Amino acid sequence: MLRTEGLTKRFGGIVATDHVDFELDSDELCSLIGPNGAGKTTFFNLLTGALEPTEGTITFQGEDITDASPQETASLGIHRSFQITNIFPLSTVVENVRIAAQAHSSKSLHLWRNYNAYDEFHEEAHRILERVGLDDRAHDRADSLSHGAKRKLEVGIAMAADPDVLLLDEPNAGVSSESVGEIIDLIEEVSEDHAVLLVEHNMDIVMQVSDRIVVLNQGSVIADDEPEAVRNDPNVQEAYLGGYEEGDLDSDADSASGEGVA
């Protein structure tokens, strides 16, 4: 479904992404991990059109989207959630999702028509909120939500466009360890009918939810395999996992790898 060939991004003399060959299938949840500066965020930005590659190609459902803008990639069905929550804080929870659903439909807001006339978008918004576990907060202001609930809302907003591919950028960032189970449930729910590419530092989450894990180091792919094989790969152990043991519920792998947010 989504493929890159030789994807490279240079910033002056720095190679952030180095000839990355990657493929995501339509029914797959793939996690992208790696140490600080590995190129994960750059790779996400290339896939969504936020950055132009220096070399290589990106194709989506057989169509070359290498030079597509963020708006064009979104319209084709690739949507992204961010490390920092990106919501309308003064609007209600349901309105955040309703606006997103309407913005991506053929029935954009008409200047002279009351938005309440678009009942179908409110119904769709409530369906999405139920899926992400926020329907009971539908009429609360978005800024009243906890950080973890805001992350759920952001995923709901991304789902409102009915994308084919969801790029989830650290959905567990800033979420308390008590809420890790909710994030796992959310990721698994989303992956039931979306292809998902996940960047996440909590290795318990990565190991539990992933069909496949791709490991970047210094811009290059050093491993691409099932979770258990990646866990036991000596190159991955040296570059990133270090002393990781299953059950470590730290929000990231900083203690093992010096990981930041790149």
In this predicted model, what pLDDT tens digit does every residue of 163-178 receive, in sequence order?
Answer: 899 999 888 887 877 7
pLDDT of amino acid 13: 92
Residue matched to tokens 């950080």:
147
- Tell me which of 80 and 23 has the higher pLDDT: 23
Please choose, from the candidates 212, 168, 152, the residue with its C-alpha nearest in 3D space to the C-alpha of residue 48.
168
pLDDT of amino acid 257: 37
Break the chain into its structural domains and give their ranges.
Answer: 1-77+163-262, 89-162
In this predicted model, what pLDDT tens digit does every residue of 189-233 receive, in sequence order?
Answer: 889 989 999 998 888 899 999 999 999 999 999 999 999 999 999
One-letter amino acid of 19: H
Q: If you classify domain 1-77+163-262 with CATH, what class do you get? A: alpha beta
pLDDT of amino acid 246: 67
What is the C-alpha to C-alpha distance for residues 187 and 81, in angstroms, rounded to an integer? 12
**pLDDT band with cut points at 50, 70 and 90 for residue 261:** very low
Tokens of 47: 């896939």
What is the rounded (10 degree) CA torsion for 183, 189, 190, 192? Answer: 150
In this predicted model, what pLDDT tens digit does every residue of 75-132 receive, in sequence order?
Answer: 899 998 765 567 899 999 999 999 888 887 755 544 445 555 567 888 999 999 999 9
What is the C-alpha to C-alpha distance for residues 34 and 39, in angstroms, rounded to an integer? 8
Residues 6+ positions from 156 with CB-CB distance below 8 Å: 96, 97, 128, 129, 131, 132, 134
Pairing of strands 14-24, 2-11: antiparallel
pLDDT at position 234 over 60:
yes
What is the rounded (10 degree) CA torsion for 42, 35, 196, 174? Answer: -100
Please choose, from the candidates 251, 246, 261, the residue with its C-alpha nearest in 3D space to the C-alpha of residue 178.
251
Query: pTM higher than 0.95 for the full model?
Result: no
Please choose, from the candidates 151, 140, 150, the residue with its C-alpha nearest in 3D space to the C-alpha of residue 205.
151
For residue 20, list its beta bridge partners.
7
